[in-house]
Structure 1
């Protein structure tokens, strides 16, 4: 891990299942992190794919096009007109750099059991909704 100090830090704090989801303070750090992550995972025999960023310069200038995440999701909730990426069950709008949730509430007679069942289906690994749920 001494070869890849920046990426090993982010892997310990910002890796969820098989996704590395993080924010960095500068373009230079983003470029360095990309290089380190690719090198570290390649040393383990893994190819990192489905890269997504809100900085087109990093995407176009550094990341090979075959590694881009081209899977945009239309959520049909009219909250934004831009297709978002799905990250850890959340909607991430790379233009506004915002996360949002889409929760389907079935039309049915409410009962304590049905409300608890609906709340239990909300997947929030980062705890954004913890105060509400």
Structure 2
């Protein structure tokens, strides 16, 4: 018996979920096997080509996980068709009682970020800290470290900031000294 709520619970839940897929692989379609690789602790983030594929995958996932004693809940989707196919009790509270026909879908949290369901976008807010003088190495690190991007969507942009930071580290300047003029322009 395992009591959930301890610091080890996410790893136990992940193990139990993966074990369910493994134990039921003989009845598990290929697309469900692929989907199980897209669970992040207890969140599933996956993209499908059509609402029909999404509905079929949701049904298959619910069936396979039920064989392991799981009941998938808090379903959120940017397709109103997919949401309608999921019983109201299984939907996330923000879309549980929504008038799917008339009301726009809300923004939800997904993997530590916001997901605008209606626009199917994950907006990112980066706070550039205002300071009175020049930009310092400390300022660079503060901004770079404040970006939470578990899926790496922002990596092509953040890498430029990290290169600037790396160049300033190689110059062996202090944390509160101004960065070079050329790097400040790039920043």
TM-score category (smaller protein) = 0.7 to 0.9
Shift of 1:105: 4.1
Q: Is 1:96 the counterpart of 2:96 in the alignment? A: no
Counterpart of 1:55 (choices 79, 84, 91) is 79
2:142 maps to which residue? 117
Q: Is 1:69 the counterpart of 2:76 in the alignment? A: no
RMSD: 2.1
1:3 maps to which residue? 27
Deviations 1:44-74 (A, max 9, x none): 22221111111212212x21112212348xx
Say if 1:68 and 1:84 are closer, same or farther in 2 by CA, change over 3 A: same
Deviations 1:76-133 (A, max 9, x none): xxxxxx7411111222111111121123444456431232133123221211110111
SS in 2 for 1:96: coil
- Aligned equivalents of 2:126 and 2:51: distance in 1? 34
The structure whose residues are more often helix, as a share, is 2
- Tell me the TM-score normalized by structure 2: 0.58
- Aligned equivalents of 2:45 and 2:53: distance in 1? 14
Larger radius of gyration: 2
- Tell me the TM-score normalized by structure 1: 0.78
SS in 1 for 2:63: helix
